[in-house]
Chain A
Amino acid sequence: MIVPFGHVLLVAGIIFALGVFCAVVRRNLIMIVLGIEIMLNAVSIAFVAAALRWNNLEGQTFVLFILAVAATEVSVGLAIIVYAFRRTDSFDPSRFNLLR
């Protein structure tokens, strides 16, 4: 008996909120991607806890996929950030408003 399932979900929720906060508030492109990583991490925790709760390995499988996708997305995202930095010489997302 570890903990009630609700507690784990709450922890995951808090970490998710922190990830959103990081993605929305930090004026740096890299920090935005970092926030996304935090969110993905929080979701992984929730999935693994759910796998344990319902005795189903699907949760852990999904975490495996999350891992792979996170890796993919970070590599492409950082490549884009570097490219964008070369174009506009800034990391501030408010500089990237050409679509207005």
Chain B
Amino acid sequence: MTFYGFFFYLISAVVIGATAIAITRRNLVHAVVYLIVSYFGTAMLFYLFGAPLLAALEIIIYAGAIMVLFLFVVMMIKIESHEEVMFPLSQWLPAAVFGLIYLAAALMAIVETPGTEVSLRMLTATPIQFALYVFEHHWFSIEVISILLLLALVGALHLGFRKGAAQGSSPHDADASLAGGSAGSISTPREAASATIKEEI
């Protein structure tokens, strides 16, 4: 196998391993961090498959914003005082069974389908090429996505809004939370924290 092939298997092992470990962690912060590792691996895979812009976006958005959001929420709520029932049998046994069935079926499907033994070539789509393509063919979807992000913002703000907690927050705190499409429920960490701590119980 070529170097790239070996690289692929290595990174795939990392991704799968990190994901597998992430889903079995009791401590949520550990799980999130392992998942960040998994996303790094995925970004490497993207780069390998010739999508450098996506690799960068993956790291920026996925690992950088979404996982950080997870961390915010995990640290905001007192998760350690709520012990989780770990892997009840009635849940993981059927899941494992069906998972194995799924994998077996997927394996068989992959093997039987005629077009899957073709080896991938090394190609790269430069950001310029990619951007041109997207804005040429899917400019409307981009606009829709922007509206979608606006919806997310409004929704999160509404859900997180509590009577009395809004008095402390000023408009510029709301602006500061717009970066990366994060939830508006955490306006200023400090004020939000104090507000939530007051009304948490």
Contacts and interface: CB of A to CB of B under 8 A. Distances in A.
Interface string A49-86: 10111010100110111011111111110111111011
Given A11-B16, A48-B46, A76-B152, A64 B32 contact: no
B95 to A, nearest CB: 5
Nearest to A68: B145
Contact of B148 (A10, A64, A68, A78): A68
Interface string B61-79: 1100110011001101101
A51 B2 contact: no
Contact of A41 (B62, B145, B156): B62
B88 interface: yes
Contacts of B15: 11, 15
A17 B104 CA distance: 11
Contact of A57 (B23, B121, B125): B125
A14 B16 contact: yes
Contact of A22 (B12, B23, B153): B23
Contacts of B74: 30
B58 interface: yes
B181 A71 contact: yes
* Interface size of A as a range: 35 or more
B74 to A, nearest CB: 7
A18 B183 CA distance: 27
Interface in B22-77: 22-23, 28, 31-32, 35, 38-39, 42, 45-46, 48-51, 53-54, 57-58, 61-62, 65-66, 69-70, 73-74, 76-77
A18 B65 contact: no
A48 B51 contact: yes
Interface string B86-112: 111001100110010011001100110
Contacts of A19: 19
A48 B99 contact: no
Nearest to B12: A11
A74 B66 CA distance: 7
23 contacts: A2-B49, A2-B120, A8-B49, A9-B106, A10-B107, A11-B12, A17-B99, A24-B91, A24-B95, A25-B87, A34-B32, A37-B35, A48-B46, A49-B120, A64-B54, A65-B145, A71-B180, A74-B69, A75-B153, A76-B155, A79-B156, A82-B76, A85-B77
Interface of B: 1-2, 4-5, 8-9, 12, 15-16, 19-20, 22-23, 28, 31-32, 35, 38-39, 42, 45-46, 48-51, 53-54, 57-58, 61-62, 65-66, 69-70, 73-74, 76-77, 79, 82, 84-88, 91-92, 95-96, 99, 102-103, 106-107, 110-111, 113, 115-123, 125, 129-130, 133-134, 137-138, 141, 145, 148-149, 151-153, 155-156, 159-160, 180-183, 185, 199-201
Given A17-B103, A27-B91, 10 more contacts: A2-B121, A3-B9, A4-B119, A10-B110, A14-B16, A21-B96, A48-B46, A57-B133, A68-B145, A82-B76
